[in-house]
Amino acid sequence: MSRRRQIYEGKAKILYEGPEPGTIIQYFKDDATAFNAQKKGTINGKGVINNRISEYVFTRLSHIGIPTHFIRRLNMREQLVRQVEIVPIEVIVRNVAAGSICTRLGLEEGEPLPHTLIEYCYKDDALGDPLVGEEHIACFNWASQDEMQDISSMAIRINDFLCGMFAAIDIRLIDFKLEFGRMYDGDFSRIILADEISPDGCRLWDMKTNEKLDKDRFRRDLGGEEEAYQEVARRLGILGNEDNGPGEVFDLSAHRGKLRETKPKK
């Protein structure tokens, strides 16, 4: 691919100008961060796995009518996505008490919540992504009332679908993070799902053992991060036969020696 302009580099991804107007190339890194980037490290092959898992999940969600920015996977680490204006709100969907909500409210980890809870955080690493309410969102015009209705209704639909999808492979969806963006058509815009859905932004526990299969293994120095991510991909049926093409399963071990050689083309 010819030289391309880097638009943005985040904690887990790099965004490049796409081949056509209105498109972006999303490159998945192996970098791992926690606690608003206070802890940093690397999980070998994470970018490859997250690329495939996110492709799989976004494709499944599109089949139930959830509009997303995903167009297609380009290679082991890159996706072609629609360019959107990101709504500066992280949407946290919680089914079971874990993480910060336990600290804030004195809950025991693993305690089922009375019902699914949706929380919102203002996207600003320098501020620690503070928790905000819908009144804050309206006051500072981060999103309109209609946009928030679309966001909350999509979040519930996504949660219902993902809970069933993961339960079918003996994984319990504890909580997860979503980001949404505005896609413009002239003067009009609509809300679509953006970013990624992967073990980086989900808490996934084995239903029988409660073993953590997500980034909490990195956060808590549990070890086995690479194996946990691979296990999620294996259960989803996207870890198996070697293939670099979109839409097919692949064998990560066949590429293990090549992973660190894969660099974004600038």
> In this predicted model, what pLDDT tens digit does every residue of 59-73 receive, in sequence order?
999 999 999 999 999
Residues of the chain above pLDDT 90, percent: 83
Counting every residue written for the chain, the total comes to 266
| pLDDT of 249 above 90 | no
- Domain positions in the chain: 6-84+225-258, 85-206
Residue 166 C-beta-side C-alpha neighbours within 13 Å: 26
Residue 239 has a pLDDT of: 79
Global pTM reads 0.88
Residues of the chain above pLDDT 70, percent: 88
Closest CA to 198 of 253, 238, 241: 238
> In this predicted model, what pLDDT tens digit does every residue of 82-103 receive, in sequence order?
999 999 999 999 999 999 999 9
Rounded distance between C-alpha atoms, residue 25 and residue 18, angstroms: 5
Residue 130 has a pLDDT of: 97
Q: What is the CATH number of domain 6-84+225-258?
A: 3.30.200.20
Residue 1 has a pLDDT of: 45
Rounded average pLDDT over 99-119: 97
Structure tokens at 30: 């192996």
CATH class of the region 85-206: alpha beta
Phi then psi for residue 97, to 5 deg, are -65, 125
